[in-house]
Amino acid sequence: MTLKKIAYEPYSDPDEFIREVTDRIWVQRDIEHIYDNYEADSIVHGPGGTAVGVEQVVQGTTMRIAAVPDHIGLAEDVVWEERGDDAFLSSHLVLGIDHVASPEGQRIVRSRTIANCLYREGRMVEEWVVRDSLAQCLQLGTDPAEAAARLPYVGYSGSLTGPAPENPLVEGDSGPRENNHPEACQMVVDMIHHVWSRRNLAKMDEYFDRDVILNTVGDKTVVRPKAYQENLLELVSAFPDCTVEVRDIQTNEETRYGGLRVAVSWKLSGHYTGAQLFGPLTGEKVDILGASQFQIHEGRIVREVRIFDWVGVLAQINAGRGEEEFRFDNLY
């Protein structure tokens, strides 16, 4: 399918569109450009739930830029794919470097964000954004629980509340897609089902290179399958009945970013009944919005960047917390 220029004008392609628009807003501080870039009724799914309307984006961006005026956001990757001939879905991996004043002096804070954005005729209609808030807390010496107490949680609505797409290779939350790089996409979808959802860690050799690298929340990097397993188990142990849905998928192959990449928007759903990663247990259902970018080489995953908002999860759990202590009744 040939993507019409109206989808990314005045830039040369969606890659340049995403990089330059982001820089214009966040580095050049042209916050007004958001009104041209987002639809008036745009939908944004983020750590506090689903927000509707461009004014929420304008106000939130204003406050973030004011808090970190020396922010640098570097495009580590842009995985984009057509959605019809006038639209595209992009997965923008941003490495953020912030110079933040503190009582001990200026600190450099490093964290990643993944913004999955659906643009139609050059305007944002829906966005799924996740930030590594844990990295920011750890590097600033902020208690994540205190940060969560300041974050309102209103819950998700719209596309994220419906059933998972039956076959995300054919159609995801962003709409129908051409099945680009079907073998790589199917491999990633199968891996998420068997390894993440079903916890068949013995199958990792089918999907991962021996020297796999995982960059994840807390600005943490682990290498090789054993450490990958341990990092995954740490998260799912808090929600031992959880499953992971693939909500959307896109892929492209670009030398600039290291070849073939597969980007996935996912949702982990489970009850907070296991390990107390996020404070006292509640027994309540939790939905974690996450995004991953997988780099593929010779049919195997060699690198994953996996981001979800730790502080947002805490805020969600706190919003459902009752006064009585929850006691888990698993007897195994």
Q: What is the pLDDT of residue 330?
A: 76
In contact, 310 and 217? CB cutoff 8 Å? yes
Predicted structure pTM score: 0.95
**What pLDDT digit, counting tens, does each position of 266-316 carry?**
999 999 999 999 999 999 999 999 999 999 999 999 999 999 999 999 999
What letters, b where the CB count within 10 A reaches 16 and e where it falls short, cover 102-130?
eeeeeeebebbbbbbbbbbebbbbbbbbb
Q: What is the pLDDT of residue 264?
A: 98
Q: What is the pLDDT of residue 104?
A: 74
Question: Domains in the chain and their CATH numbers?
Answer: 5-149 (3.10.450.50), 165-319 (3.10.450.50)
Q: What is the pLDDT of residue 325?
A: 78
Q: What is the pLDDT of residue 1?
A: 65
In this prediction, the residues of the chain whose per-residue pLDDT falls under 50 are none
With 0-12 / 13-18 / 19 or more C-beta atoms within 10 angstroms meaning exposed / middle / buried, residue 324 is: exposed
What kind and span of H or E run contains 39?
strand 38-46
Q: What is the pLDDT of residue 102?
A: 72
Q: How many CB atoms lie within 10 A of CB 139?
A: 18
Q: What is the pLDDT of residue 323?
A: 75
CA distance 170 to 166: 9
List the structure tokens of 267: 């949702």
Q: Which of 199, 202, 187 is nearest to 302 (CA)?
A: 187
Q: Where does residue 199 fall: left (phi above 0), alpha (psi -120 to 50 degrees), or beta otherwise?
A: left
Q: What is the pLDDT of residue 327?
A: 79
According to DSSP, the residues that pair with 222 across neighbouring strands are 214
CA distance 6 to 101: 42
CA atoms within 13 A on the CB side of 331: 0
Q: How many CB atoms lie within 10 A of CB 277?
A: 16
Q: What is the pLDDT of residue 328?
A: 78
CA distance 264 to 177: 13
CA distance 242 to 280: 18
